[in-house]
Structure 1
């Protein structure tokens, strides 16, 4: 592939060149050929633009429509399915939404006058092309989304997916991606409190880099992205605009990778976390001074997005002098300036009397700020270049009224064959020695092994308010140092489950994230999602997407929690090979007193171990089938959302009674015993009812391993009975081994050695 983005405008156009494509020129020259296809537009989309404008677009208008009508920005293939999330009540018994879908990020009331905003987004393709910068700017972009709501960012998370650990391309992208996530977040002083690192063949050549940020604000500090009030000034502030990221959302994020390897480097943004840190503090001081009438960050589609979305969501009119935009590269043409996705930039709408104070604060923080336009009542977005009009469009047609595709989708015939190939029929260990070796093998497998090679590159405790972080079930942050009010967040998704049944797989992702928040003692309030799928032009992929959306909607309705917003990432495939459908679900919960949270690991010897929930012979899609047999087939575990809700209520009511709580998911009970024991080096002696193999390795949902102090058993029995949750006594904590009665004994030192060795051996 060429090293430059196909169809990007040529540099060197200036105000004095006779080739400047103005609105007047476009009206007089209707037949000029334009590179609409190279910019990612379809023939019918280009024709629609001409009909909207009543003429051909100028080059600058074509650039704006191409990025704003891209899959990444317009959701043109997905919004027909996403609209069902509006059926979920925005106000629930758990929490009240203050801002939701359509804003930069969702905002939810957490009590005591506080609100929390959170969102998860993708930066997948850029991170494959340029791992460090792709991942770093993914973090930077989601942080600015949170900042734009009026919140102080307080924590980040990073759900990651890679190809096989031993694949050469995984060894190329993984270190850079991890360094990018850590480097940017660490420089901002934001703790990384959770995430995932999952390995599967389908992600080879298309890693997933999803980034989440959490922010905290007082109710009265909420800001929205809108440009209202004719005469109000439009100020661009932050970093100067450069040539990086041109066409990123239309060229890079909205098409399928070929199998020939990385290319398209100019479409990847370049980050400067130190500038972003200044931008954060500057913006928060501006908010505190009440100087902003509307605000928007510049992320995907850059100025094209910020100008059109602010105008569309406000009074509908804006006039911008594009030549006032501070540049890092003076050769940039108007088209390139509008398409550039240079990082660390914000756009604010400010009343005229407040402009001087706004600029003064920016100067204090050494942040460039320039008045580039004003709000109008024309209902049009007008952009001039050295006095010549290069854009004259209805802003809503750019920002919100793009194409809507009802792409065909159908359940593929191959799904029946896939589901018939059940893992329950695979050969399984039968002796105690074989079970012991299987526990060791799974604990050392890439998906279940110790991830500290990754997480040690992140600062998890900066700012001093981190309560829980990796490897706990969820991350937890204190947001009020006087009352100890806090929030917990978890991200989860098992792509294998979603491949076997995308409806159930999405609900299992929701249930696991919901459960992980509850194990710490928090009340789940809301979700954000990052829906990562293959090409929407494949009916089978669109069926997966449609089913996952339907599953999430039904799941949220049953659990009583709203979708606050999220992200869709399509075209995640290399050639004809699509990734596993990966609907990552982030759940946020509130806890009134973080000092009373329930830890994930065993805390002391001599405590009683219980299993909450039912274990069934559910092995299809499991880590055992994946690691031992390289198998994917059958049906995923059954979903019981009513049972999940009851379990979560038990866990929250059990705060103070439960001395530890660790959910069962990948690897089943065996892996949970390993993780709960290794973090404190306290062993366990357990007896398993029924088939020991099923008891150890089944991945039935809705289960949590808990401990209570000796003498508190009856209180737990009463609590489980009252909530209708199955309770099984397994044994006691203590010793320096995991002992399964009648089967095997496994020393913690031996399993720790295997568990910790995998990533360092592969990555150095």
Structure 2
């Protein structure tokens, strides 16, 4: 900011209205800058410009997505379980026994491309602090990852760094990584997706909010010192199109210290337990700018801050740099004066630096009408005097033009059903092994073995099963299950249906553990909102998710929008990642995907149709994307979920596995491999369709001998098609059909399934 004086005070701004300011370099449009001048009645100081540039960025303000995200509230189904909805750091749901769970997923895509290890690590750290600020103890993490082709040179640079960052930060915090997903595709080569989820547990009375009530209460910054890392991350790195200069933006990537974060977690939880804070906010994207404006806006609307009291790692930082810094492991608390000594003593106990940097103030009716009053000084000089709500709540809202791309009709007309199919059992066998071993379908152990999935001792189900599950407390058998799912191929073919299919798969994965789905979070990854075709994809996707959640009674509790996921003019396939949380009364009844009981009967639940658009078979065997994705039937998904939950509760089912990528063939192979036992099935339909169709609302269930009639009756009661197709046993997967049989020994299945990622990445 060399074009303005080093200390650009309010008085200077009032007397120099024509001073050029670098608003464009900070990601602001000219009309946005003019609106700031109108709000303030003068040009902004450089510190005020810093605040507005980050708070009005796409990443922080959702200015291009708000008009569509409102559907999640307008169409929200009634839920007695919802305790805190959208608008706070994370949603909170009641899970029974007086306990609540908070969960959320967010993106750290662009930083993870620029600097993979730190970008992914600080993505984990940021989402953990979001959960912490709700008053909860973080108890588990998950991640949803997308990369370019597995054999691409840049994938070999990005993927290992991302995985090491996730494992380093999560393992150091002592948080189990209980699930997630990994996918590959050409569109993600220059723009990987790193979506991190965290879940926390608390009692109802422990919920905390981002607010600053009570004039005279103190504003305390505690945690790490503030440095130059992350400056401009929200406004420049996360809210702009990627290009060849992205590597030069490394200073915009934050640097994480998980050991400091662990201390910060324990310190914060003790502060909460002793009722020493009345409001709390973490410092993530936009740093001090976000924390002060949002806390002030959520309280009386007034706050005085002394920026010169902020502890610095680099004493050369200017006020605007302090405001834009995204240094990690920092929190801001609102504390009553009488409790300050105890607050500071606890911070000292945990070796956490805590500094009083200001106080909450009252505002006049006129100031309240304008959006409150936030004042910041620097060594006695006023550098900020602005209405905080205009930055946090009243940013620009764009109704971006959107239109269905002209290419969409041709894409959907290019039907995958017309692709050449295997002509012999030998070809069918070969294609099954090829799909089973495809990166993104095959075994993710090369990645997940780097994570600690069982630290803390409450993990019940983890990778590689359909969903992760944890017990919520030592004195209870109650648990929660979580799954994240997304399919960019489906969403590219039909954004409305594709998003519903992602939601349905996550819903089905949770149900397949025996849990009942309760609530939803989302991370919506799209290209540039300035492209009408991308905005059409986004509008259809949000409409699809809102309609699906309304139909199945699961409210959206919060989430994240990540735009500008493209390199040059080439956007990623639209990739909404949907996280579903479910509750199970007794984790001892949970189901795994492994077929391990010899003689168990295998049933197929649901209806199979010849649906191959966007399928793993079409992608892997033919490199094809076209046609329509599978038909969505949300009523069937709900019915299937009830059958799976009741089968688990009653002990009818020994194992269950949903059908998704790769269809029945992949699901049977995975369940056989995970149980170390073969399976023999007979299919009555066309064997190709039976093995590779990706029709939704389907699952396979293993039932102990004697339970067959019970499962059939249960499925009939809920109107779910059911067919007994085979038996667990032997040392091979055998699929018999009218014209012959396909037989693959477990050893050969294992070689195909487990070798893909180690072959491509094992030496990295």
Using the size of structure 2 for normalisation, the TM-score is 0.97
CA contact (8 A) 2:596 2:672 kept: no
Q: Which residue does 1:610 correspond to in 2?
A: 603
Q: Which residue does 2:94 correspond to in 1?
A: 109
After TM superposition, the structure 1 = structure 2 runs for residues 641-680 of structure 1, keeping only pairs within 5 Å, are 641-655=634-648, 656-680=651-675
After TM superposition, the structure 1 = structure 2 runs for residues 220-619 of structure 1, keeping only pairs within 5 Å, are 220-259=205-244, 262-378=247-363, 379-619=372-612
CA distance in 2, matches of 1:153, 1:410: 41
CA contact (8 A) 2:416 2:624 kept: yes
CA distance in 2, matches of 1:260, 1:103: 34
Q: Which residue does 2:169 correspond to in 1?
A: 184
CA contact (8 A) 1:90 1:97 kept: no
Q: Which residue does 2:743 correspond to in 1?
A: 745
After TM superposition, the structure 1 = structure 2 runs for residues 183-202 of structure 1, keeping only pairs within 5 Å, are 183-202=168-187
CA shift, 1:603, in A, is 2.5
Range that drifts further, 599-608 or 145-154: 599-608
CA shift, 1:20, in A, is 1.2
Q: Which residue does 1:124 correspond to in 2?
A: 109
CA contact (8 A) 1:532 1:570 kept: yes
- Which consecutive unaligned segments of at least 5 residues does structure 1 have? 1-8
CA shift, 1:19, in A, is 4.1
Q: Which residue does 2:157 correspond to in 1?
A: 172
SS of corresponding position for 2:744: strand
Range that drifts further, 560-569 or 707-716: 707-716
CA distance in 1, matches of 2:643, 2:761: 41
CA distance in 2, matches of 1:10, 1:107: 45
CA distance in 2, matches of 1:394, 1:529: 31
CA shift, 1:620, in A, is 0.8
- Which consecutive unaligned segments of at least 5 residues does structure 2 have? 364-371
Q: Which residue does 1:6 correspond to in 2?
A: none
CA distance in 1, matches of 2:743, 2:581: 38
CA shift, 1:261, in A, is 5.6
SS of corresponding position for 2:281: strand
CA shift, 1:483, in A, is 2.2
1:24 and 2:17 are equivalent in the alignment: no
Counterpart selection for 1:60 from 37, 47, 50? 47
CA shift, 1:113, in A, is 0.4
Identify if the C-alpha distance between structure 1 residues 141 and 19 changes in structure 2 by more than 3 Å, giving closer, same or farther: closer
Post-superposition Cα deviations, 1:604-660, rounded to whole Å, max 9, x if no partner, equal 110100000000000010000000100000000000001100110111111111111
CA shift, 1:570, in A, is 0.0
SS of corresponding position for 2:539: helix
CA shift, 1:54, in A, is 0.1
CA shift, 1:90, in A, is 5.8
Post-superposition Cα deviations, 1:50-73, rounded to whole Å, max 9, x if no partner, equal 000000000000000000000000
CA shift, 1:426, in A, is 0.2
Identify if the C-alpha distance between structure 1 residues 710 and 19 changes in structure 2 by more than 3 Å, giving closer, same or farther: closer
Q: C-alpha root-mean-square deviation of aligned residues, in Å?
A: 1.0
Q: Which residue does 1:33 correspond to in 2?
A: 20
SS of corresponding position for 2:162: helix
Using the size of structure 1 for normalisation, the TM-score is 0.97
CA contact (8 A) 2:77 2:553 kept: no
1:701 and 2:701 are equivalent in the alignment: no
1:716 and 2:711 are equivalent in the alignment: yes
CA shift, 1:44, in A, is 0.2
CA shift, 1:100, in A, is 1.0
Post-superposition Cα deviations, 1:350-373, rounded to whole Å, max 9, x if no partner, equal 000011100000000000000000
CA distance in 2, matches of 1:171, 1:260: 20
Q: Which residue does 1:78 correspond to in 2?
A: 65
Q: Which residue does 2:366 correspond to in 1?
A: none
**Residue correspondences, number:** 749
Identify if the C-alpha distance between structure 1 residues 128 and 19 changes in structure 2 by more than 3 Å, giving closer, same or farther: closer
CA distance in 2, matches of 1:639, 1:310: 42
CA distance in 1, matches of 2:425, 2:705: 29
After TM superposition, the structure 1 = structure 2 runs for residues 745-764 of structure 1, keeping only pairs within 5 Å, are 745-764=743-762
CA shift, 1:260, in A, is 5.6
CA shift, 1:394, in A, is 0.3
CA contact (8 A) 1:536 1:542 kept: yes
CA shift, 1:435, in A, is 1.0
SS of corresponding position for 2:603: strand
Q: Which residue does 2:367 correspond to in 1?
A: none
Q: Which residue does 1:3 correspond to in 2?
A: none
Post-superposition Cα deviations, 1:564-618, rounded to whole Å, max 9, x if no partner, equal 0000000000001100100000000011110110111112110100000000000
CA distance in 2, matches of 1:522, 1:711: 24
CA distance in 2, matches of 1:261, 1:391: 31
CA contact (8 A) 1:430 1:693 kept: no
CA shift, 1:753, in A, is 1.2
SS of corresponding position for 1:262: helix
CA contact (8 A) 1:68 1:398 kept: yes
CA contact (8 A) 1:99 1:108 kept: yes
1:156 and 2:141 are equivalent in the alignment: yes
SS of corresponding position for 1:526: strand
Moved over 6 A (4+): none
